[in-house]
Structure formats: C-alpha cells, structure tokens
C-alpha cells in the first residue's frame, strides 16, 4: 500500500533512489563531453596527448560513458514514475539501493581501468578483466555479469511492484519492454572467433536497443511526463503508445538488417534491411505528431494554452520530438539504403547521425525527466524556465546540431573524394582527411563541441539551483 499520496513531491524512497541515479548520470554526461572534446582535438592535432591519453581511449570512454549515463537516467526515470503509476510502494527498496552502490562502484572501477590500462596484447584474461572489445560495450566480462545481476534486482523491483499495484497501460508497456531491453544485453556477452558472427550478435545490443526497445521506453516516459506536465489525457497518450509499440517492434527489429550489409552475412539482408529500415522513420514521425497533436488538442478544448507545470522539462520534451525525428528519422534514412550506404558506410556521416540521434532521441527526454525529478524533490506546483535553463537548452541543442552539420559536410567530402573519386583505398582515406573541407569541418565540430560544453555547465548550474528558486517564488 502507498504511504502517502501527495503528488507534487517525492512521496517515497524509490523516487529518492531515482534522484541518486540522476546525479551519477549527469556526472557521467560531463565526463562524456570532456572525452569527446579530447577526441575532437585529436582529429585536428593528431599528436595531442599521444601515448598519454590516446584517441582510442578517449573515444571509447566517450561512447561508453554515453551508454552508461543514459542507462542510469533511464533507471532513475523508472524509479521516479513507478510508485505514481502503480500506486504501490516499491517492493524491495533496500535491495534497490544496494544495487545502486554496487553498480556505481563497478562503473568507477571500469572507468579507471579504461583510462589507465588499455595498452598491450589481448587474451582470454583481458576479456575478463580489461576490455571486452565491443564498441559501446567495452566493459570487461566481470562487469558484464555484475551489470546483469544489478539489472535483475532493478527489474524485480519494477516487475513485482507492478504485479502488486495498479496496471496502467504505460506500466504494462514499460514492464514488457524492459524485459526485452535487459534480455538483449545478453547477446553482447558471447564471444566468437568469427568476426562476422561476433558483429552479428553485437548489433543486437546497441541497435535493437536504440531502434526498438529504447524508443518504446522513451515513448512511455513521454506519455507519463505529458500527463504530469500538461495534464494530457491518459487514453490519448496510451493509445499512441500502443501504436508505437506495434510499429517500432515491426520496423525496428528487421530494420536491423541495415547493419548486416557489409559484415559477411547473406545478401538477402540488402532487401530486408532496405525495406524495413526505410519504414523506421514512420513511427518516429507518429511520435512527433503525437506530442504536437496532444498539445494542440488540449489547447482546443480549453480555448487556452494548457498550464505548463514544468517549463524546462516541457521544452526538453518538445526538443525530443523534433530531435528524434531529425536525428534518427531523417539522418538515419539518408544512409539506410544499401545503394547509398555503400558510399557512406563508416564515414563521418555515420558519426553525424550517431550524434544527432542519440542526442535528439535520448539525451533530451532524459534531461527533461531530471527537471521533472527536481520539481518533485522541491515539492513545487510550477517550475518556470530560468535564464540558465534557456541558455542550457539553447547552447546544447545548437552545439549538437552544429556538430552534426559539420560532420555531415566532412562525410560528404569523404563520400565524394575518398569513396567515389579515389575508390576507397587506404591512401584515399588519408588524402580525403587532409583536404580543406574535411579539416574545416573538424575544426567547426570542435568549436560546436565547446558550445555544447558551455551549455552543459549552464545545465548543471540550473539543475542545482532551479528547485530552490521555484520554491522561493511559490512562497
């Protein structure tokens, strides 16, 4: 049973635990950006920190920190909404807290090993203790197993609380989807000597995450947040959520074929990948329309704008709808057909899409959830955007968009010169990298990276002050 039902504050220990996850997430986000900046400088000045802090390490920490901070913020968001939705206290909160500390200690150790011990030959024991060697999921196997245990504890809390409490559509989707999300992680834990087979399974993790299970996950977050922030009608957001589940699992799963074009899998993947991945933007468009539609509809019914209870969270939510559509839908579609991908594969174009999609589809909404968590922590009815909130969202979004445009130009140059004109040889790769368009683009990416980082500083500053300010205003 629920101990308290005051809805605009933190009502239970689970939500406090959620806030702890958010705190670690934001620290890792900062670390991610710093690593990105180092790697970006190394593109322009290749000798920068050579043999002290190599590109391979900076890049690895950059993208692993990305995945881990997002997982933290996702777990935080679930703990934030679990009791609200189920109207039941979390079943094993003590165990949940223990899992948080174990996970955080493990992440700290893994990061230290990433930074200090990455040079040397690979063997069976380095897979266990140093690095598993899979892009985005480089954590050594001991940590992999630890992560599985911690996630099982988290999942038990979600599942058992759900079973005992109220079963809303949002939570039903969440519970089913989290099972798929966690299960997919196992696909990245095998190791096969055959590199094609290894890659085949590896894609299941990150790409069945980002194109299927994570998309459904943020759908549930958006549904919950819209109800809380602008009083959206539950039936409407849940109806769209079910439609998205259907479409995303349909297009997302076979759409994975766009990663099977050139890794040694049979050629029928060309047709399967082309067709289904080309359909992937459809649910993304639906999701985009969904948010704007709900928004407009509320306005129509009341004749006035619905009261926005949390300005910054709503701003990040709307940015999510645009960003998901642009980064995953448009930038994804650009290079998804095999006829195009044969020229763009693994170029800076891919990096442009990777940045815009991860940022647009996930970073945005997770930051929105952090703002919502802060509102609850301070128990305020309304939380308006401050100057800092506006600077944060503007600089971060402008910075990431700027980076993506710069990388798109670099990728365009690679496609034309390295691939089309010079035939994609090893020499062509270096020729293309030394031409002015490429170098200028890399410089612009770094400048835009700095803009992003300044925005991040505003974000942290805002997150630690906005709650108090809102409380003062309300008093």
Binding site for ligand HEM (CB under 6 A): 33, 36-37, 39-40, 43, 59, 62-63, 66, 135, 210-211, 258-259, 277, 280-281, 328, 332-333, 335-336, 341, 345-346, 350-351, 353-355, 357-359, 361, 363, 400, 449, 452-453
User: Which of the listed partners (Fe ion, ligand HEM, none) does 141 bind, with a CB threshold of 5 to 8 Å by partner kind?
Assistant: none
Indicate the residue among 357 and 441 with the shorter CB distance to ligand HEM. Answer: 357
CB of residue 206 to Fe ion, shortest distance in Å: 8
Q: Considering only CA atoms, which of 145, 219, 144, 133 is closest in space to residue 176?
A: 219
User: Which of the listed partners (ligand HEM, Fe ion, none) does 346 bind, with a CB threshold of 5 to 8 Å by partner kind?
Assistant: ligand HEM
Q: Can you tell me which residue has the tokens 């815009």?
A: 356
Indicate the residue among 35 and 81 with the shorter CB distance to ligand HEM. Answer: 35
Phi, psi of 364 (to 5 degrees): -55, -55
Stretch that binds Fe ion, among 33-41, 106-114, 200-208, 449-457 (CB under 5 A): 200-208
CB of residue 135 to ligand HEM, shortest distance in Å: 6
Residues between 105 and 124 that touch Fe ion (CB under 5 A): none
CB of residue 33 to ligand HEM, shortest distance in Å: 4
Indicate the residue among 137 and 150 with the shorter CB distance to ligand HEM. Answer: 137
Stretch that binds Fe ion, among 110-118, 178-186, 207-215, 350-358 (CB under 5 A): 207-215
CB of residue 38 to ligand HEM, shortest distance in Å: 8
Spatial contact of 168 and 162, defined as CB atoms under 8 Å apart: no
Size of the site for Fe ion (CB under 5 A): 1
User: Which of the listed partners (ligand HEM, Fe ion, none) does 59 bind, with a CB threshold of 5 to 8 Å by partner kind?
Assistant: ligand HEM
Q: Can you tell me which residue has the tokens 């974000």?
A: 459
CB of residue 274 to Fe ion, shortest distance in Å: 13
* CA–CA gap between residue 326 and residue 139 (Å, rounded): 30
Indicate the residue among 358 and 458 with the shorter CB distance to ligand HEM. Answer: 358
Residue nearest Fe ion, CB atom distance: 207
- Helix spans in 120-194 (H): 124-129, 141-164, 169-185
Indicate the residue among 375 and 452 with the shorter CB distance to ligand HEM. Answer: 452
What token pair was written down for 37? 């900046």
CB of residue 182 to Fe ion, shortest distance in Å: 20
Pick one of 88, 207, 335, 376: the residue that binds Fe ion (CB under 5 A): 207
The neighbour count for residue 450, using CB atoms within 10 Å, is 14
DSSP 425: -
Q: Which residues of 224-240 are buried (b: 16+ CB within 10 A; e: fewer)?
A: bbbbbbbebeeebbbeb
CB of residue 258 to Fe ion, shortest distance in Å: 6
Indicate the residue among 162 and 331 with the shorter CB distance to ligand HEM. Answer: 331
* CA–CA gap between residue 328 and residue 51 (Å, rounded): 35
Maximum distance among all Cα pairs of the chain, rounded to whole angstroms: 69
Q: Which residues of 150-185 are buried (b: 16+ CB within 10 A; e: fewer)?
A: bbebbbebbeebbeebeebbbbbbbbebbebbbebb
Stretch that binds Fe ion, among 176-184, 190-198, 201-209, 375-383 (CB under 5 A): 201-209
Cα-Cα-Cα-Cα torsion 444, 447, 453, 459, nearest 10 degrees, comes to -80
Q: In sequence order, which residues have a C-beta less than 8 Å from that of residue 388 and are 6 or more positions away?
A: 458, 459, 461, 462, 465, 466
User: Which of the listed partners (ligand HEM, Fe ion, none) does 290 bind, with a CB threshold of 5 to 8 Å by partner kind?
Assistant: none
User: Which of the listed partners (ligand HEM, Fe ion, none) does 361 bind, with a CB threshold of 5 to 8 Å by partner kind?
Assistant: ligand HEM
How many angstroms from the chain centroid is the CA of residue 145? 22
User: Which of the listed partners (Fe ion, ligand HEM, none) does 66 bind, with a CB threshold of 5 to 8 Å by partner kind?
Assistant: ligand HEM
* CA–CA gap between residue 411 and residue 292 (Å, rounded): 32
Indicate the residue among 171 and 328 with the shorter CB distance to ligand HEM. Answer: 328
Site for Fe ion contains 353 (CB under 5 A): no
User: Which of the listed partners (Fe ion, ligand HEM, none) does 357 bind, with a CB threshold of 5 to 8 Å by partner kind?
Assistant: ligand HEM
Indicate the residue among 71 and 363 with the shorter CB distance to ligand HEM. Answer: 363
Measured CA to CA in angstroms, residue 91 lies from 14, 75, 97 at distances of: 10, 16, 12
């Amino acid at each position: 049973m629920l101990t308290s039902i005051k809805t605009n504050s933190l009502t239970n220990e689970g939500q406090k635990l959620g806030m702890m996850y958010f705190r670690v997430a934001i620290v890792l986000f900062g670390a991610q950006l710093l690593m990105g900046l180092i790697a970006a400088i190394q593109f322009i000045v290749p000798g920068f920190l050579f043999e002290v802090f190599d590109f391979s390490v900076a890049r690895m920490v950059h993208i692993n920190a990305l995945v881990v901070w997002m997982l933290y913020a996702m777990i935080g968001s679930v703990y934030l909404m679990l009791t609200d939705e189920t109207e039941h206290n979390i079943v094993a909160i003590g165990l949940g807290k223990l899992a948080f500390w174990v996970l955080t200690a493990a992440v700290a150790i893994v990061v230290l090993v990433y930074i200090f011990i990455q040079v040397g030959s690979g063997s069976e024991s380095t897979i266990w203790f140093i690095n598993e060697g899979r892009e985005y999921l480089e954590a050594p196997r001991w940590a992999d197993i630890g992560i599985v245990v911690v996630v099982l504890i988290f999942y038990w809390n979600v599942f058992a609380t759900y079973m005992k409490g109220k079963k809303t559509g949002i939570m039903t989707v969440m519970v089913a989807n989290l099972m798929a999300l966690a299960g997919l992680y196992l696909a990245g834990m095998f190791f096969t000597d055959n590199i094609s087979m290894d890659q085949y399974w590896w894609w299941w993790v990150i790409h069945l995450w980002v194109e299927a299970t994570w998309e459904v996950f943020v759908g549930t977050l958006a549904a919950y947040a819209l109800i809380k922030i602008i009083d959206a009608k539950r039936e409407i957001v849940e109806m769209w959520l079910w439609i998205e589940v259907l479409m995303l699992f349909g297009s997302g799963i076979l759409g994975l074929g766009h990663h099977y074009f050139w890794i040694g899998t049979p050629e029928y993947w060309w047709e399967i990948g082309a067709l289904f991945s080309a359909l992937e933007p459809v649910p993304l468009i639906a999701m985009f329309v969904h948010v704007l539609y709900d928004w407009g509809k509320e306005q129509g019914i009341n004749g006035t704008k619905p009261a926005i209870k949390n300005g910054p969270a709503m701003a990040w939510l709307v940015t999510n709808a645009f960003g998901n559509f642009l980064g995953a839908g448009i930038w994804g579609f650009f290079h998804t057909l095999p006829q195009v991908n044969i020229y763009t594969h693994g170029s800076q174009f891919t990096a442009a899409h990777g940045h815009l999609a991860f940022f647009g589809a996930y970073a945005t909404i997770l930051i929105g959830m952090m703002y919502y968590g802060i509102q609850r922590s301070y128990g305020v009815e309304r939380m308006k955007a401050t100057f800092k909130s506006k600077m944060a969202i503007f600089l971060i979004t402008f910075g990431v968009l700027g980076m993506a445009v710069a990388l798109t130009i670099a990728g365009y140059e690679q496609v034309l010169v390295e691939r089309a004109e010079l035939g994609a040889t090893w020499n062509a790769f270096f020729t293309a990298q030394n031409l002015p368009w490429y170098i200028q683009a890399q410089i612009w990416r770094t400048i835009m990276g700095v803009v992003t980082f300044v925005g991040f500083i505003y974000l942290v500053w805002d997150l630690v002050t906005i709650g108090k300010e809102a409380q003062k205003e309300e008093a």
